[in-house]
Amino acid sequence: MTGGTETTVAGFPVRVFNEGGSSRVVVTKPLPGDRWLDILQHAGCRVEVCESPKTILSVGDIAALIGPQCDGVIGQLTEDWSAPLFGTLKRAGGRAFSTYAVGYNNVKVHDATNLGIPVGNTPGVLTDTTAEIAAALALAAARRVVEADKFMRAGNYEGWLPTLFVGSLLQGKTCGIVGAGRIGFSFAKMLVEGHKMDLVYYDLFPQPKLEQYFSAYGEFLKAQGERPVTVRRLETVEAVLREADLVSLHCALDASTHHLIDAAHLRLMKPDAVLVNAARGEVIDEAALVAHLETHPDFRAGLDVYEHEPRMAAGLAECDNAVVVPHIASASLYTRGGMATLAAANVAAVLRGFPAWRDPSDVAPFLEGDVAAMPPAAPSIVNAADLGLALYAP
Ligand code: DGY
């Protein structure tokens, strides 16, 4: 993000781009790259980016930034987007909102729908980036990378020993995924192809594309004279937990997945299993996980997300058998830039009266090239159907 002029709005430092723009768009955090700014400016927007050092803005802070007149907002996953803020936006004349995230459990979509406000999100650019962090956590946890790194830096290494930081081998074992959407599929490819793991998965629906992919891969391995990997959909989450040596969670957070992994479910897992969560913290009962880690030293966890972010459950920081990172699964330059592009394209398109893009899983046409030549559509509007928005027909 370069250029713009500095000003103050409701006491917050704000950088303004395209001052004379006809629609006012508030962006609650600076976003990476410049393409998103080009998109909004091309759509005739005056863009006001809040540069407050406060990490999480409150509802009151954002309402103050919205002020008496505002056409659209790009918000963050740390913010409470429900009736009070959507009401403020509506009263200010707001017509468009996009969250800068694919997950939108912090957005009460029905509150926006009730007020006729389309809600955008940013699918399609996080898939491999998020799967890579899940894979990194899986390997780091299984092979005790962080513990060993700390040991080394502390100057404790006195020489090679047969018993030093012995961990678990993933190669050839069983990988389990809970939620076999885009990210789960990508994670499975990394572990099955890279580590020749068998795959078991739980998803509400059978995933024929995924099954065909890994069956064909098994055939390929067989033709090479190697052990063929297998793929199976299991009927329950419990069955996956029992069978897998590595379980990675890739489900959305809703009432049915809140505390999906609790004390009883953890007890079903192998004592030396690895559990990875790069989905949403509330999917795991984190206090129960800490208790399990404390009593099962060979059990390992790799966590990107937490039940009460930004806090971790009491005791988790002391568990050497957990690898913990601060919700960075989407933190690659490609992804964060792409998320900014999609959030801006959502807001710009809605303000220009464009329809919703037909296939939010294929957002490639928005990511590159001249912004003037982008499809005249909003890449992903989650309440498009409820609002009766037209779909883009090229
Ligand atoms: C998302 O977009 O939902 C991710 O959690 C951000 O990393």
CA distance 107 to 119: 9
Q: Do 133 and 121 reside in the same domain of the chain?
A: no
- Per DSSP, the three-state class of 232 is strand
Ligand 1, residues 119, 130, 250, 304: which to mutate, most atoms within 8 A of Cβ? 130
pLDDT tens for the chain, residues 1 to 394: 779 999 999 999 999 999 999 999 999 999 999 999 999 999 999 999 999 999 999 999 999 999 999 999 999 999 999 999 999 999 999 999 999 999 999 999 999 999 999 999 999 999 999 999 999 999 999 999 999 999 999 999 999 999 999 999 999 999 999 999 999 999 999 999 999 999 999 999 999 999 999 999 999 999 999 999 999 999 999 999 999 999 999 999 999 999 999 999 999 999 999 999 999 999 999 999 999 999 999 999 999 999 999 999 999 999 999 999 999 999 999 999 999 999 999 999 999 999 999 999 899 999 999 999 999 999 999 999 999 999 998 7
Same domain, 139 and 234: yes
Distance, in Å, from the CA atom of 187 to the CA atom of 135, rounded to the nearest integer, reads 7
Residue of the CA atom closest to atom 7 of ligand 1 = 330
Does residue 392 belong to any structural domain of this protein? no
Unique residue bearing structure tokens 């966590």? 303
Last residue of a domain, one of 324, 340, 373: 324
Helix axes 182-195, 208-223, angle to 10 degrees: 10
Residue 20 lies in a domain: yes
Considering the domain architecture, whether residues 320 and 277 belong to the same structural domain is answered as yes
Active-site annotation, residues: 280, 309, 327
Give me the domain span that covers residue 303: 128-324
Number of domains into which the chain is organized: 2
Same domain? For 120 and 176 the reply is: no
Q: Are residues 100 and 184 in the same domain?
A: no
Q: Specify whether 107 is located in the same domain as 153.
A: no
The CB of 99 under 6 Å from ligand 1? The reply is: no
Q: Which residue has the tokens 């950088």?
A: 15
CA distance 53 to 150: 30
* Distance, first Cα to last Cα, the chain: 32
Pocket test for ligand 1, best of 76, 81, 102 (most atoms within 8 A of CB): 102
Which of 308, 324, 340 corresponds to the end of one domain? 324
Q: Specify the residue with its C-alpha closest to ligand 1, atom 4.
A: 101
| Ligand 1 mean position, distance from CA 79 (Å) | 13
Assess whether 53 and 174 both reside in one domain. no
Give the helix/strand (H/E) hosting 59: helix 59-66
User: Which atom of ligand 1 is found nearest the CA of 331?
Assistant: 7
- The answer to whether residues 71 and 149 belong to one domain is no
* Cα distances (Å, whole numbers) of residue 68 to 10, 20, 117: 11, 18, 17
**Domain boundary, last residue among 296, 324, 352:** 324
Alpha carbon of 217 to ligand 1 centroid (Å): 30
Same domain? For 272 and 132 the reply is yes
Ligand 1 within 6 A of CB of 103: yes
Q: Which atom of ligand 1 is nearest to the CA of 305?
A: 5
- Residue 236: give its domain's CATH number: 3.40.50.720
The whole-angstrom separation of Cα 319 and Cα 355 is 50
In a domain, 147, yes or no: yes
Same structural domain, 229 and 348: no
CB 338 less than 6 A from any atom of ligand 1? no
DSSP string, 200-220: EEE-SS--HHHHHHHHHHHHH
Instruction: With respect to residue 157, please indicate whether it lies within any of the assigned structural domains.
Output: yes
Q: Is residue 211 included in any domain, yes or no?
A: yes
Pocket test for ligand 1, best of 126, 277, 332, 380 (most atoms within 8 A of CB): 126
Is residue 393 a part of any domain in this protein? no
Question: Phi first, then psi: what are they for 382, rounded to 5°?
Answer: -70, -25
Q: Quote the ligand 1 centre to 267 CA distance (angstroms).
A: 29
| CA neighbor of 71 nearest in space, from 43, 52, 51 | 43
How many angstroms does the Cα of residue 102 sit away from the middle of ligand 1?
A: 6
Q: Are both 85 and 163 inside the same structural domain? A: no
Assess whether 196 and 216 both reside in one domain. yes
Q: Is residue 394 part of a domain?
A: no
Asked whether residue 275 is assigned to any structural domain, the reply reads yes
Instruction: Give every strand in the sheet of 246-249, ordered side by side.
Output: 231-233, 198-202, 174-178, 246-249, 274-277, 300-303, 322-324
- The alpha carbon of 176 and the centre of ligand 1 are apart by a number of angstroms equal to 22
